[in-house]
Chain A
């Protein structure tokens, strides 16, 4: 990271319980998250220099529409779309603006209403040769899963264990969409989506919003007693490959996280917890490996050892992750950041990761022919 950049801190966080709110206009759905983050931050509305809004499918000017309901109109507003990484990208843009001294205070919000699309799989781009031949997002992950199980000799019930852990965590998270535990048998018996993936192995259709207020670290103590510091930020895009690729290695995540680890001088062994892009059960296992928690093929063993649940070495998705907390895609990046910030502040009660000092958020996504994924955005936070 450029040494002349200012250090940046999260001053306040806000989130609404994720669920299905098809009759609530998006700006009204997002408003409580923004107002909560502002209130927590101690920053006055008139001090906010800019708003960054991430959303993938909310239509034009989601930021302006949200600002209208939050008394924030007239300031600089930037709307970002980067598939599932939309609001993590918004956070990164805001971080850069504060870090380089262009502005002091920014509101970052992520908001999405998938229920308005009618449910089912996400709408994908019709110019894409794979989409026009029947590709859907669960299908892409299912093909990764089939290859992974085959190459490393695992079974479908090994995937189901990810969903069981996720629901255990989600049950402890007040803003999770799914708050009831489940069993391996229930996961495997749920209806088929794209085999080997069953319904309970897929993130749900849902709506949600999350927000943070950030500002320079040097001013944080004037506003808040518990700032959370941004230790690193990185955004990578997918590389186009037309030949063969190993679908069990999420190349964009491997590249993005390794560049970030090198830049900030930290590694996977330094992480107390992380929120990763567990859009499907297989994804969490692949991301254990890609983020460096274990070698390739060892994800299932890491899970079974309990290393990624409470009491383990690195707690993964303490919120329940996308599988249980929900995945209103454009909102998820900031929602992950809210969870990690609150964990580092020690505010997470039943699901608190004891002694958490350093946490990471990872969100990738965007299904496009020839790419592992379109975008990957990773942040590391500390207290």
Chain B
């Protein structure tokens, strides 16, 4: 599948957590999530942390996260708090940067998903903004 431009992104599932401008960067017209890597102990994580929670080093650098990862596990939720529209899919996706990201799947059709398949981490603009910039959210689409 070709690179997913914003305009071509699969339709987003019901909106999840909003991310701020610091969690996202633009690379070649594509939006990517940004986690962090500790320069002292090499720990990686998303969301980023200004202090490494493992070694407490402040030498933490931005780590752009690959848009492609492997579907470690997933499920379709049929009972959830009223804020969510059911059913919806959630998943853990393992990225080449050695970071596991939790998020929603683009759809809740079991036929579209299987373990260990490649998935695309899609970042899209959300409606709101703050003084740091626009808000975003992210989800996983089949790659």
User: B-contacting residues of A (Cβ < 8 Å)?
Assistant: 120-121, 123, 129-130, 132-136, 138-139, 142-144, 146-147, 150, 191-197, 240, 242-245, 247, 369-370
Partner of A135, one of B44, B98, B102: B102
In this complex, the member of B54, B72, B90, B103 whose beta carbon has the largest number of chain A beta carbons within 10 angstroms is B90
Bound-complex Cα distance A121 to B99 (A): 28
Q: How far is the CB of B5 from chain A (nearest CB, A)?
A: 23
Neighbouring B residues of A134 by C-beta, 8 Å: 14, 16, 77, 80, 84, 88, 90, 104
CB pair B75 A142 closer than 8 Å = yes
Partner of B102, one of A195, A197, A369: A369
Interchain residue pairs with CB less than 8 A apart (16): A120-B79, A130-B102, A134-B14, A134-B77, A134-B80, A134-B84, A138-B77, A139-B75, A143-B75, A143-B90, A143-B92, A146-B115, A191-B78, A193-B77, A242-B100, A243-B43
Additional A-B contact list (16), CB under 8 Å, known A147-B73, A150-B115, A243-B45: A123-B81, A130-B102, A132-B16, A133-B104, A134-B77, A134-B104, A143-B73, A143-B75, A143-B90, A143-B91, A193-B77, A195-B110, A242-B45, A242-B100, A245-B100, A369-B102
Neighbouring A residues of B98 by C-beta, 8 Å: 243-244
Neighbouring A residues of B87 by C-beta, 8 Å: 192
Give the interface SS of chain A, mostly helix, strand, loop or mixed.
Answer: loop
Neighbouring A residues of B53 by C-beta, 8 Å: 240, 242
Neighbouring B residues of A191 by C-beta, 8 Å: 78
Q: Does B94 contact A (CB under 8 A)?
A: yes
Q: Does B2 contact A (CB under 8 A)?
A: no
The 10 residue pairs across chains A and B that have the minimum distance between CB atoms: A242-B45, A142-B75, A132-B17, A143-B73, A133-B16, A192-B78, A147-B73, A130-B102, A194-B75, A243-B98
Partner of B75, one of A121, A146, A243: A146
CB pair A195 B75 closer than 8 Å = yes
Neighbouring A residues of B104 by C-beta, 8 Å: 133-134
User: A-contacting residues of B (Cβ < 8 Å)?
Assistant: 14, 16-17, 43-47, 53-54, 72-81, 84, 87-88, 90-92, 94, 98-100, 102-104, 110, 115
CB pair B74 A121 closer than 8 Å = no
Whether A242 touches B102, Cβ cut-off 8 Å, given contacts A123-B81, A136-B79, A150-B115, is: no
Whether A136 touches B110, Cβ cut-off 8 Å, given contacts A130-B102, A369-B102, is: no
Whether A139 touches B43, Cβ cut-off 8 Å, given contacts A133-B102, A147-B72, A244-B98, is: no
Neighbouring A residues of B45 by C-beta, 8 Å: 242-243, 370
CB pair B76 A192 closer than 8 Å = yes
Closest to B139 in A: A133
Bound-complex Cα distance A147 to B73 (A): 6
Neighbouring B residues of A195 by C-beta, 8 Å: 75-76, 78, 110
Neighbouring A residues of B44 by C-beta, 8 Å: 242-243
CB pair A146 B73 closer than 8 Å = yes
Neighbouring A residues of B75 by C-beta, 8 Å: 139, 142-143, 146, 194-197
